[in-house]
Amino acid sequence: MPFAIILVGLTIELTPAHFLYTGPLLTAMPALASLTMGRTGILTAAALAFSVTAISATMHGSWGEGQAASNALGIIVVTSASVVTSDAVHSRRQSELNQVRRIAVAAQEVILRPVPARLDSVQAASMYLAAEAGAQIGGDLYEAVPTRYGVRMIVGDVRGKGLPAVRAAAVVLGAFREAVHYEDELVEVMNHCAAALRREGVVADFAGPDGGCEDPADDLLESEAESFVTALLAQVPDSHEVLVVNRGHTPPLRLHQGRAEELVPVSPLPPLGLDEFITGPPAEAESYVFEPGDRLLLHTDGVVEARDADGRFFPLPEAAESAPAGCTPSEFLEALHLGLIRHTDGRLADDVAMLVVDRLDETADRPP
């Protein structure tokens, strides 16, 4: 805008319309530039405005009248004030941004803290990749906790973005961290997370006045305030198995004898927040073989839905099978990370959360 106005002023001065007084217009341009530009933009606008003033004074011989000198002095004064003010505003905004970043880092350490490298009978590693540049946390979540029932894990994905998604993720993780230590059944841990979402008002309630479900699918499409959370719980007990409860989440990947296999649920369940869609008998945890040497990868849909330039999805099973033999969980996740970056050319469309555990041999020393 300031440069367009300066161009208008130059046009006036170079045409018969030069009798119009452009001095105040040009003097204000550095101040106008300071609203949206930094020091460089202000000085550029000031130089152009000064040039138009000089051209006009030279062409029309008005230097001796004092008006041109007054206009030039006005440009210098306004420019100086604009630069000082812009620097002060920039410094204040940078200070506020640094504070927000420190808060975001602290929040990430609480909500998405890295899992320990060793958890009882498993080795573990985690990774979170934000799609938005500069973001620290989002709607993806994960956690792994050693309990008397074995190592219990969760991975989830909140529908939506921004602070509401972060809040929903915090509610689910808080409920999980509490329930894993006293609920005997893995399904009850999941139910505890669903109840916490309803109690906190994070997800919508589709029940009608009489407690029934009145066109919940239509309501889901019409309301932007409604949200849900896909979640997956896994438990690695002392026996050679892994128990899984899946509420609408991307199936985990098990690497058994070098082959990758998705653990697709036999009886699919809706995400948390859509409990009204549950029909049939009560849900039960599904059991899969998980022997020493096996690897289990829990992840969000940001992994499998990552696309390349041609629109092809990221081939997760193939990437998992091609990881270096004998690599640790953290090395395995780093290999998947590099594969994702190559596949998407560094442009993730969605956040990514990954949690991997390796079943150890019973003869391996456990941490004290």
Fold adopted by 114-359: Phosphatase 2c; domain 1 (3.60.40)
Q: Which residues pair with 164 in a beta bridge?
A: none
User: What DSSP element (H or E) covers 126?
Assistant: strand 122-129
Number of helices (H), then strands (E), in the chain: 11, 11
Instruction: Give the pLDDT of residue 1.
Output: 77
Q: Where are the domains of the chain?
A: 2-102, 114-359
pLDDT value of residue 168? 86
145, two tokens = 């906790």
Distances 247 to 69, 75, 87, 226 between C-alpha atoms, Å: 75, 65, 51, 17
Residues 6+ apart with CB under 8 A from 134: none
Quick one: 334 exposed, middle or buried, by C-beta within 10 A (0-12, 13-18, 19+)? Answer: middle
List, as one string, the DSSP characters of 144-206.
EEEETTEEEEEEEEESS-HHHHHHHHHHHHHHHHHHTTT-SSHHHHHHHHHHHHHHHT-S---
**Cβ atoms of 274 and 255 closer than 8 Å:** no
Buried b (16+ CB within 10 A) or exposed e, 59-82: eeeeeeeeebeebbebbeebbeeb
What number of CA atoms fall less than 13 Å from residue 24's CA on the CB side? 2
166, amino acid identity: V
Q: Is the distance from CB of 227 to CB of 164 less than 8 angstroms?
A: yes
Residue 289 structure tokens:
């073989």
Q: Per residue of the chain (368 residues), what is the pLDDT tens digit?
A: 777 766 766 666 666 655 555 566 667 677 777 777 777 777 777 777 777 677 666 665 555 566 666 767 777 877 888 788 877 877 888 888 777 767 666 666 667 788 899 998 899 999 988 766 555 556 788 999 999 999 999 999 988 766 777 888 889 999 999 999 999 999 999 999 999 988 887 655 433 333 344 444 444 333 333 578 999 999 999 889 999 999 999 999 999 888 999 999 988 899 998 888 877 777 889 999 999 999 999 999 989 999 988 889 999 999 999 988 889 999 999 999 999 999 988 888 788 899 999 998 765 555 54
Which of 360, 152, 354 is CA-nearest to residue 242? 152
Q: Taking Cα atoms as reference points, which of 360, 11, 365, 350 lies closest to residue 151? A: 360
Residue 290: its pLDDT value, please? 94
pTM assigned to the model: 0.69
Q: Looking at residue 224, what is its pLDDT?
A: 37
For residues 328, 331, 337 and 343, what is the CA-based torsion angle, rounded to 10 degrees? -90
